[in-house]
Amino acid sequence: MSRSAWGMQLAEPGLVQNRPLRRTPLEFSAPANDEVCLEVEVCGIRRTDLHVVEGELPVRRSPLIPGHQVVGRVVEAGSVVSHLRVGQRVGAAWLRWTCGACRFCQKGRENLCERARFNGWTDDGGFATQMIAPAQFLYELPESFSAEWAAPLLCAGIIGYRALRLTGLDGRWAGARLGIYGFGAAGHLSIQLARARGADVFVCTRDQARHQALAEELGASWAGGAMDRPPQPLDAAIIFAPAGELVPVALSALEKGGCLVCGGIHMSDIPSFPYQSLYGERVIRSVANNTREDGKAFFEEAARIGLRTRTVRFPLEAANEALRALKEDAIKGAAVLQCSE
């Protein structure tokens, strides 16, 4: 492990325009028996990181290194780690650890684990040059995956994959009409999966110059404003934007029997809406984290369809600026931090 490791540390939550992340030297002890130390190559930036930094999610660790879309190489492994080797490229995602014993873990629903831990929230994450992580929760990444390509897949991609599964359209994708509300990192990956499965995708997003244009470039049947009504009723919809006011809007666009999936860990309050908007066996449900099986299945599908990530790169020291650009919808695709040369 390097003695010169450093990261962008959050001492206390604050607005990103006030630059709450500060460059800080880091000291690491040797990894535990079941952990590895990573030299971080790239860390993707998600809106969840923004929620952590600005305090919209409760403080779980302080001070904290955010970041949970981490691509790095193993530089040291604990004594019981046998499936990873030094020098191997791996990925760390949002889900850091689960207990394996609670009623949810025992039923194969580790994403709902009562004692789950999360990279960049309950534990230090990847806005750093090095990171310690439990080996069993890392994804082995082929060398053919570039670090910058792979980073957004580790949360935006996996959560998008799970959100698509929760629409209930499995087996009925051909010709299905899917709405996507908010078109950042998760949206630009999810549309590619949905289109490859045969769906028609309708995108509602407030940014015309970047996000609507990218949606059309990636095959959207229609792209309009966040509050606009798609030209056809939707069989399912996913809201990636953290805006509760979009729930009644999306519900009103759903066909009878349709499902609305809320894809974020944080959302502003949902305003009241008439029961008639829900009537007709429409469903609203949320996505909570992910399982490791979600990640493995998603990576297989991503490789099979040739999924592309659109990224904007920032140096690690510019983490505050990157988060501000994300907050202002100034990122076309996904933002990533370059953490090592």
Peptide bond into 63 cis (omega under 30): yes
- State pLDDT tens for residues 243-300: 999 999 999 999 999 999 999 999 999 999 999 999 999 999 999 999 999 999 999 9
Helix (H/G/I), strand (E/B), else coil: 133: strand
Q: In whole numbers, what is the pLDDT of the chain averaged over residues?
A: 96
Instruction: Determine the Cα–Cα distance for residues 290 and 294; give it in Å rounded to an integer.
Output: 6
- Grouping H, G, I as helix, E, B as strand and the rest as coil, residue 98 is coil
CA dist., res. 129 & res. 192, Å (int):
31
Delimit the domains of the chain by residue range.
6-155+290-338, 158-286
The DSSP secondary-structure symbol of 187 reads: H
Instruction: Report the C-alpha gap between 51 and 327 in whole angstroms.
Output: 10
In 93-184, where does DSSP find H-type helix? 147-150, 156-166
State pLDDT tens for residues 187-241: 999 999 999 999 999 999 988 788 999 999 999 999 999 999 999 999 999 999 9
Give the pLDDT confidence score for residue 1 in this predicted structure.
54
At residue 232, what are phi and psi to the nearest 5 degrees?
-135, 150
CATH 1.10.8.60 holds for 158-286: no
Rounded Cα gap, residues 127 and 67, in angstroms: 5
**Which residues are CB-contacts of 18 (< 8 A; sequence separation ≥ 6)?**
none
Q: What is the pLDDT of residues 49-83, one digit of tens each?
A: 999 999 999 999 999 999 999 999 999 999 999 99
Taking the model in full, what pTM does it have? 0.93
Residues 222, 229: Cα–Cα separation, whole Å:
11
Query: Dihedral, CA atoms, 243, 249, 254, 258, nearest 10 degrees?
Result: 30
CATH of 6-155+290-338, one of 3.90.180.10, 3.30.70.141, 3.30.70.100, 1.25.40.10: 3.90.180.10
Backbone dihedral angles phi then psi of residue 192, each to the nearest 5 degrees = -70, -40
Question: Within 10 Å of residue 163's Cβ, how many Cβ atoms?
Answer: 25
Helix (H) or strand (E) holding 153: none
Per-residue pLDDT, 180: 98
With bands split at pLDDT 50, 70 and 90, how would you rate the model's confidence at 145?
confident
